[in-house]
Structure 1
Amino acid sequence: MKKNVFVLLLACMSFGNAMAQEADPVVMTIGGKDVPRSEFEYFFNKNNDSKDGNAAKAVENYADLFINYKLKVLAAQDAHLDTLASFKKEFANYRDIQLRDYLKDPEFEDSLALSVYNVMKQQVGDADMIHVAHIMMLLPQKATESVRLQKKARIDSVYAALKDGADFGELAKKCSEDYTTASKGGDLPWIAPKQTLPEFEKEAYALKPGEYSKPFLTPVGYHIVYMIERKKLEPFEEKKEEIMQLLKSRGLKEMAAEHKIKRMIEASHGQKTREEILSQVQAEACKKDPNLKYLIEEYHDGLLLYEVSNRLVWQRAAEDKSGLEKYFKKNKSKYQWDSERFKGFVILSKSETLLDEAEKFLKKQKDESGIEAWNKAVPKDSLKKVRVRYGIFKVGDDAVVDSHIFDKPVSKQNKLYPYSACVGAKLRKPKTYTDVKAQVVSDFQDLKEKEWLEELRKKYSFKVNKDVLSTVNKH
């Protein structure tokens, strides 16, 4: 009897697995790891930018890119880059942010909002909350009497315009020196007692809706205040949503999540660590939302992809001077200019004597390291009187080069550094890879990445289930 029950149980499990595979079949296997169709669809639908209208071809093309992506991630894992402390920290921070919506603690959030409300209630007491706008003339702390009188005259002229019927909001936009509120017509957030400067509070609370004050002075300047509205503090239930929005802007989700995690650790009687709790939450959340699973996986793999590519390809290629020079010589025809260039030093000086010294010195230098040599060779007070830059310039890139090398008229005289010169040579085409370094490095990195991918495709096995691939986005 027990044997029959066991056999039946195995059959049910097998049937369940078969149903799961049928619902989300394996579209490819890479390095021994199955990729379900849902995962491929997530990445394809998010990253596909094909516009030729051939959906089947787009899927096929993307499958090749996806395989490359996964092979690079496998290479990163084999290099144990996922064990680096820097990787673990960055990934954990991102994952924790994504899980905050699954770590809500309504009881904690409500209690925090109520605490904020009670502080507001205690602060306001029986007084009103006021909503005002203001026009301000900013007065620096160490302002002279002359400046103070100027500011006073300006605020008085604004007051006179108000008395003649000018619109308060328009005057605030044109005249107020509180630039955070001027564009909004001087509008300020709701104010409770003791939330602003005593002088400001006294004048503002004396007003009725629709009234404006006479000009008055506070430690920050002259003001005119306009009373928009005043009211008693609303009950908590009416104010709750506004408080919640305020708390969210100040990290409520993060605080609530941390409080929830702490409670879950306590509920386990210390048997589970913070990381174990978060792994549990992640597993449960990903069951409910497959897109979350793939979003977290995307960030995880993206970090690995960048790290392994940078270490094994990009950085190595960028630092391989011999390889870059060989690549440049082999592909010179790709790197032609449509016009002449000047390669060398541009010198600006306050004195003709220093300009001559700089020219003589820099004529002996071969490249931009000459600037550092010059800076070390001359006294510090002379460095302030001479400016040197190095580069490759075409017509229009630099006014000094245009004038001295390309015989263009000087558009504007440099009064601070009236003496100038250029040390270097005209080039009709690049002579070394450094003349077109950015382009050569980029192309060389592309080449090395292709070679690396060829190695990865030989190293790791991969197989595409074309029957399943043909059903992508069609089931």
Structure 2
Amino acid sequence: MKNKWLLAALLAGNSWFGGGATDVDPVIMRVNNKDIHKSEFEYIYNKNSQQQIDHKSLDEYVTLFKNYKLKVAEAEAMGIDTTSAFKNELAGYREELAKPYLIDASVDDRLAHEAYDRMKEDVEVSHILIGLNARTPEDRAEAKKKAESVLAEIKAGEDFGMLAEKFSEDGSRQNKGYLGFIRGGRTVYPFEKAAFALQAGEVSDIVETQFGYHIIKVHSRRPNPGEFLFSHIMILVPRGASDEVKAQKESEIRAIYEELKSGADFATMAKERSEDKASAVRGGELPWVSSGQFVKEFEDAAFALKNKGDITEPVLSPYGWHIIKLMDRRDIKPFEQMRSEITRMMARDERGSMARNAMVAK
């Protein structure tokens, strides 16, 4: 019955905020001989509940509130609030509760939309990386000096690819620095920011990341074509294979292609003949992918397919021969559907601290 009276007082009180009641903040309960006013209860209720005020939610919360107050009173009587363990736990709660309020929401929102906009565009890039294998100031200065020297050669007209092959300190040197297409979230943020600021044919200044000093060249830009579902039939070509073996492998893939043109079922041929065993069991089907996830030779051929069911002629990549079939495609999802994914991505790189730093600066 006490709860019923309390609910009536609270619900009736909803009309008081714009009116002229005489007792605008009545005592609605007593716990351990302490008065609890309506304003205190409403404040805590509204902070902890996203629901509209109704009888059911209030009835449940009144019981929780009373139990909470009784536990606090008991803890104070026992002196628990003075122990180091309690203080440490309370400090932890305070820190967790403060985090959402220490972020500049406008900066966070701007970065999220920036990331989404960059997901809608592909930028084709190469780079030269001078790594930071040691962390002393002297080593960093030496690495930067080397990067500046390479950049000077580029500005003097030297070929970017040749310099990447000679100086770059990562695996891309084998491809003359070529990385392929990137989009928002695919690289560390300083690299992404620099690449998206360049137009086709332009070269960046030196860009520092956690990996070292980069010089970035943009080859082209294009709208994100979306995500694709491909199947393929693959004939592996071992690295260092003889000309005889290479010719044999090419003959195999071209024979398969002729059978497909004559009406053979692609999935059946993939299961029986493809040497990519992981996809062969699924009729050659690969996971949904977007640009920048394949080697260039495979991607150029696959993304040139226009209609579902179309297949490529045999395509040679560094791994072997492929015949690729377009199964399906879909456009990039709307921003709101991708927001949680973008937020998780931002938390993993420098963007995760930028909104917090902006609030601290304010």
Q: TM-score, normalised by structure 2?
A: 0.39
Q: Which has the higher contact order (CA 8 A, sep 6+)?
A: 1
Identify, as 1 or 2, the structure richer in helix.
1
If you compute each CA radius of gyration, which structure gives the higher value, 1 or 2? 1
Identify, as 1 or 2, the structure richer in strand.
2
